[in-house]
Structure 1
Amino acid sequence: MNYIQQAYKGQRDLWMFILTTFLVAGIFLANFVIYLISDPADLQLAMDMMKNWPANLSLIINLAPFVFLLLLLFILVRYVHQRSILSLTTARPKVDYKRILFSFLMVCTFTLVTFFIGYSIDSSELVFQFDAKKFAILFLISIILFPFQISLEEYLFRGYLMQHIGVMVKNKWFPLILTSVLFGIAHAANPEVGAVGFWKMMIFYVGTGLLLGIMTLMDDGLELALGFHLGNNLLASLLVTADWTALQTDAIFKSTADPSMSLLSEILMPVLIIYPIMLLILSKKYNWKNWQDRLFGKVTEPPKEDYKIIE
């Protein structure tokens, strides 16, 4: 059984899907609706108010809801859908933590190397603000709470929604594209979207969603996506902060650059060049084959003897 077929191991009534999606993803939908209907001046006022909060307190407030939402998703999957959390995580007999670690180290290595190359070339818009005490607190908050935040997003978008939508439509390409678009929309209320530009950031977010979705389908599990997402978000919190980003932290550096991103070098290059290179690295390491079927093939119900719904 492949990854999407794991959904057959549980109950799949439509009301269950609607209930779980509404309860767990409601916060993302609410944020998007607020973003659409709110006056930009009001959004800026709220952002300015949050800047006056202690950075670590603001981070805790932003990340704490993900703890409860992840637990809620697990409870609904286990007791409403009557399936195991393992089936939501991977098609393997057990979670492969080495895959999580490899993907984590891959994105961390790339981010740190490219950052320090850029820093050595031009550091004029970066302020070194390292404070050992504040950073230690930030580090503890980050390693405790970010795993919940990235896990909720991966288990919801690349896990629950990918599997159940795939079973509904009987193919793999539609849930891959839809969950990537939803992943982008879920981040539409982030302050950098307003600062940099909606369509620029949507290209980046949707492109990142596609990367994580391809990892999941090709590798038959969430492990690589979890490692990548965790490494990316941890470094975003610990390495560089800026006044116009979603993460206001006591990071090592603070960017004083204007809130703008080059469409070519900072949006299209990662999505169209760096991400495919990372997929190539993973494909060689994990011997991925049959890309067409894994990404565009049909989803069929496996023989009943291949799975059992938890009673």
Structure 2
Amino acid sequence: MYIEQLQKFKINLWTYLVIPGLFLGLMIYNYISTEGVDTVAMMKDMTKLIGVNGTFVALVSPLALMLLIVLFYNKFIQNNTIRILTTSRSKIDWKRVFFSFGLWSLFTIVTTVVSYYAAPEDFVVNFKPEKFTVFVILAILFVPLQTSFEEYLFRAHMLQGLGLATKTRWIPLVVTSFLFGIMHIANPEVDKLGMVIMFYYIGTGLFLGILTLMDEGLELALGFHAANNLVGALLVTSDWSAFQTHSILKDVSEPSANFQIFIPILVIFPILLYIFAIKYKWSNWKEKLFGTIKPIEVKEFESIERD
């Protein structure tokens, strides 16, 4: 019903091309304009010029602003609601958001502590109370907006639009996952680790897409993504990561692209899907992931109202 519910409303499918087209155009331009540029060195220069927190805000605030653009476009151009863009339920289930956020936050904290004690030589304590406090405030303000923009663009706006256009579920799942991965191609991590890390980004997009389709809503993906970026940024930074932060720890190890990149995709994400499936009693996986978008019966339309 997450995609099907839109069939009640007369939506011009062409309107789903505007924002993705503009955003993808900006990504392509950014990639071409930075090709051959040492993005890690560029980040260091930027940090020297406006500081760590200034660089963080400069990188994150445009994406936070784009969330407002997506929501405005959805409301006033497509005459839709945030609720329909977010979920097939009668209202947004914030318990789902917080459960997903808490589960991934706990996992991130535990694995960070284990990594620190297993290889303390790979880290230095980066904790500076005053700077960390300022960063916490900035991160809480901006990171959820940044991650929500990516979710509302890829797993909501684009996934719903492609679902309506193709009458399928697997096509929007694959396409949005691929584009989500490609969005990160200009990240400093790609320069440092190579193109193999794109498997992680695309795999993460696939995981978040499966969450959305199986749960018939965006809540679990919103919680996971916010926890991944927010808690990760608060705990660990490095000289070669996209987020330069006043975190508690700094990773000083020499990064390398090895089998560890595939552990989340092949092991951790499937375990999380199993946990969510048990908790929320998911069933009919084949239909929800690979089925067609079928017309909704008239009686089903009656239960779908614009907020």
TM-score, length basis structure 1: 0.92
| Residue matched to 1:163 | 160
Structure 1 unmatched ranges of 5 or more: none
| Residue matched to 2:191 | 194
Aligned pair in 2 of structure 1 residues 232, 196: CA closer, same or farther (>3 Å)?
Answer: same
| Residue matched to 2:16 | 17
Structure 2 residue 280 is the aligned partner of structure 1 residue 286: yes
| Residue matched to 1:296 | 290
What's the secondary structure of 2:124's corresponding residue? strand
**Count of residue correspondences:** 304
Amino acid at match of 1:21: P
Cα shift readout 1:13-44 (whole Å, capped 9, x = no counterpart): 24312223334xx2x54233332454424645
What's the secondary structure of 2:253's corresponding residue? coil
What is the alpha-carbon distance in structure 1 between the residues aligned to residue 12 and residue 145 of structure 2? Answer: 27
Aligned pair in 2 of structure 1 residues 304, 50: CA closer, same or farther (>3 Å)?
Answer: farther
Is the CA contact (8 Å cut-off) linking 1:99 and 1:223 kept in structure 2?
yes
| Residue matched to 2:265 | 271
What's the secondary structure of 1:254's corresponding residue? strand
| Residue matched to 1:5 | 4
TM-score, length basis structure 2: 0.93
Aligned pair in 2 of structure 1 residues 258, 216: CA closer, same or farther (>3 Å)?
Answer: same
Is the CA contact (8 Å cut-off) linking 2:192 and 2:240 kept in structure 1?
yes
What is the alpha-carbon distance in structure 1 between the residues aligned to residue 249 and residue 286 of structure 2? Answer: 43
Aligned ranges 1:1-311 → 2 under 5 Å: 2-23=1-22, 26=23, 28-36=24-32, 38-41=34-37, 43=39, 45-52=41-48, 53-198=50-195, 200-262=196-258, 264=259, 266-303=260-297, 306=301
What is the alpha-carbon distance in structure 1 between the residues aligned to residue 47 and residue 255 of structure 2? Answer: 16
What's the secondary structure of 2:250's corresponding residue? strand
Amino acid at match of 1:261: A
What's the secondary structure of 1:124's corresponding residue? helix
Q: CA RMSD in A?
A: 1.8
What is the alpha-carbon distance in structure 2 between the residues aligned to residue 30 and residue 239 of structure 1? Answer: 30
Structure 2 unmatched ranges of 5 or more: none
What is the alpha-carbon distance in structure 1 between the residues aligned to residue 6 and residue 262 of structure 2? Answer: 34
Is the CA contact (8 Å cut-off) linking 1:10 and 1:82 kept in structure 2?
no
Is the CA contact (8 Å cut-off) linking 1:154 and 1:226 kept in structure 2?
yes
What's the secondary structure of 2:14's corresponding residue? helix
Percent identity between the two aligned chains = 39
State the 1:123 CA deviation.
Answer: 0.7
